Structure 1
Amino acid sequence: MLPPDRSCAPASAAAGPSSCGDGQGPAPRGVPGAQRVDHLAFTVSDLDAAIGFAETALGGELVYRLPPLAHADDWMRVHLDVHPRASAEIALVRLGPDTNLELFAYQSPDRTAAPRAPHDAGHVHLALHVTDVARAAAELTRRAGVSPLGPVRRVPDGQPDAGTRWVRLSSPFDAPLELRSVPEALPYEVEGGTPRRRPPGPWRNRDDGTASRRGLPGALGVDHFARTVTDLDAAERFFVDVLGAELLYRNEQSVLPADVAAALGVPPGGALRRAVLGMGPTDTIELACYEGTSAGDPHPPRNSDVGGSHLALHVRDVDVAAAYLAEHGCTVLGGPETIDQGPLTGDRWVYTRAPFGLYVEVVRMPDGALPYERTTAARRRAAHELSWTVRHPGR
């Protein structure tokens, strides 16, 4: 049974801050009824290769693969913001203890097939938390033949995440994969009043604690997902004030050293500014902004472009959440729909588009009663009893 929903409908700006009316003061910031990040979605050029990499190289588990999605009318444009004659194949992979990774492959008359560069707006990457970066990178290279984009590096002293070791590698996701080894306590975490990051692990692909596949050596889970933005302050405000994220720390490098720029895959001489935020009880996002000579294409990709992406939140009421996002500057694509046939019957969902091009889906899944569950032991990471404002659930 789900706990009672204590979220409140948002008040209008004219009415002032909303209140729960229960004597507990103003409602928390964020999407009403949000429980957790439901999934991260990447558009890839080769769906088979991306699924294979997620399973055999990273140790994830394929949960379902849906029949091709296409419509003869205007539905694809209205609901997904893509060409009306676009078609999509969709698969979902459970990646460790907390992450649902949704993979898309589009065929579309106007899609962009070239992956985004790391300094282009809308570029995304995925980072795994491992205990030994060098060992995990060597194993990943052996399993998948991917290439490290430089040596293992250490974040220098004086930074809020000092002591973290990291490396980026190529991947069939058409975006880099980052491996990170994080100290027990980062400098920002020992400063009074600063929220702590959400620790991952241990690696498992099922809520009953079993791991259907062997992950990388020392893999604990997804450390963070990252998105490149053109205006860091505006993007951070949206995530904090509208989505209810929690700022963990900011990291600013006035000029990127040439070797670090090469490891990141960006032109040398520019600056990098980052904001790292907690997203609900289980996830972390890194917003990256490249400035100066490292500034890239300011136009983010569409869903159908290789390198496109979206972020989905699991909520208790999709219609209320969509109305809230519309009030806070997002464009609702079409309107909420409930799937009435197929493996995800009962799923209610809708896409919205933030002012800076981020697609935010709000979804409510009847986990435990979805048709796909009849034919596989694999499971999505469900929201069930989770609450957005409770950190480190069950850890």
Structure 2
Amino acid sequence: MPTARAVDHLAWTVPDLDAAVDFLGEHLGGACCYRQGPVQDPVGDWMTRKLAVHPRAVAHIAMVRLGRLRNLELFGYTAPDQRTTPPAADDVGAFHLGVHVQDVAAAADRLAAAGGVRRLGPSFLDTPAGRIKLTTGPEHVSYGVADLDATLAFVVEVLGGTPVGAVTTMDTTADPDAQELGVRPGTVRRVTVRLGPATLVELVEHRTGGRRVPPRNSDVGGHHLALHVEDVDAAARYLDRQPGVTVLGTPETVPDGPIAGDRWVYFATPVGLQMEVLHMPDGALPYERDTTARRATVSDWLAAPDPTNRTPTRPMTQRRMIDALD
């Protein structure tokens, strides 16, 4: 990917945007940098051409910084064809965020006390309680995919990701932890890839009879992953040459609002992942005049240590990440 530097942000669509921003702020220390919207085109087809959603879809957006390195972009959509039920744990398009904490049990207890939070197995949470502290931001992001081998090849060969472990396979038929997570009996294959200097991406293929069609951006549970590049137009030309990739229109620059100057374009991949390339001129964005909250920047990512604590050529032989918060 020409001029790619890092994962700029993770994005997903939530049923209640205000509630999501409040929850991340109150319980995970998230800082809301800006809100924008409505994003819409009342008469034309811009929403379909640029975002692959219904032409009459309407989006409101919030950008939340979580920890030192992660930007989370939250969408609140209304659309005539919106799917309001999020993907199940073993559906294609399932998504979760792993958050690193100092004490898993204390974090679970605190979230349970928040109300509306349901703990999902397993027994390793029963460890000595201690003070909850978000230490490194999200540990990893996980995506449910239809074809693990094809997705891994795309992420490595087209996007430049680096596998940090071998593909592992497990049978969930007699696994009580999987059942508590809502995973149906069957085979699960997974692998972790480092994308950019500081983001671990877990790819999971469930052969358990789950839904095979990923959510759209406008569906609850819809999501995309955005890559920071120095030259959006060069990246778009490169992507347009890749088999099965569809660049959604041409790059454009946001003309006004809190992130005026951002240049961006979405693209659809042949493996079902929804993605974006963008160049955000951090340090010169309008939202910075009105708040002390700031997005994580390319300087933050490039200064971050390798999250695997290993060289790329030494595979991770044991899974170190704990999905403390799902």
TM-score by length of 1: 0.73
Give me the whole-angstrom Cα distance separating, in 2, the residues matched to 1:356 and 1:222: 24
Which consecutive aligned stretches of 4+ in structure 1 deviate over 6 angstroms post-superposition?
A: none
The count of corresponding residues between Structure 1 and Structure 2 is 301
Offset from partner CA, 1:330-389 (integer Å, 9 cap, x none): 10101100011111110000000001221110000110000000000000001148559x
Look up the match of 2:320. Answer: none
State the alpha-carbon separation in 2 of the partners of residues 381 and 75 from structure 1: 29
2:57 aligns with 86
Cα distance in 2 for residues equivalent to 1:272 and 1:135: 29
- 1:133-152, aligned counterparts within 5 Å? 133-152=104-123
Is structure 2 residue 221 aligned with structure 1 residue 307? Answer: yes
1:132 is the counterpart of 2:103: yes
**Deviation, structure 1 residue 59:** 1.0
Does the 8 Å contact 2:69/2:136 carry over to 1? no
AA of the residue aligned to 1:265 = G
Say which of 105, 118, 123 aligns to 2:94: 123
Partner residue in 1 for 2:254: 339
Q: Which residue of 2 aligns with 1:377?
A: 292
Which whole-Å CA distance do the structure 1 matches of 2:65 and 2:228 have between them?
16
Aligned equivalent of 1:287, options 191, 203, 206: 203
Does residue 365 of the first structure (1) align with residue 294 of the second (2)?
no
After superposition, give the CA deviation of every residue in 1:174-209 in whole Å (9 maximum; x if it has no partner).
xxxxxxxxxxxxxxxxxxxxxxxxxxxxxxxxxxxx
* Counterpart in the other structure of 1:259: 176
Q: CA deviation at 1:391?
A: 5.3
Letter of the 2:39 partner, please give it.
L
The question of whether the paired residues in 2 share the 8 Å contact of 1:34 and 1:387 is answered with: no
Shift of 1:152: 3.4
Unaligned regions of 5+ residues in structure 1, if any? 1-30, 154-165, 168-214
Contact residue 149 and residue 262 of structure 1 kept, 8 A: no
Query: Please, which of 27, 37, 55 is the counterpart of residue 57 of structure 1?
Result: 27
Shift in Å at residue 253 of structure 1? 3.4
- Segments of structure 2 that go 5 or more residues without pairing to the other structure are 310-326
The alignment partner of 1:376 has SS state of: coil
Considering only CA atoms, is the larger Rg found in Structure 1 or Structure 2?
Answer: 1
Q: CA RMSD in A?
A: 2.0
Equivalent position SS for 1:369: coil
Secondary structure at the counterpart of residue 298 of structure 2: coil
The answer as to whether partners of 2:262 and 2:279 remain within 8 angstroms in 1 is yes
Which AA in structure 2 matches 1:69? V
What SS does the corresponding residue of 1:36 show, helix, strand or coil?
strand
Q: What TM-score do you get using the length of structure 2 for normalisation?
A: 0.88
For 1:11-90, what aligned pairs fall within 5 Å after superposition?
A: 31-72=1-42, 73-90=44-61
Q: Aligned-pair distance for 1:326?
A: 1.4
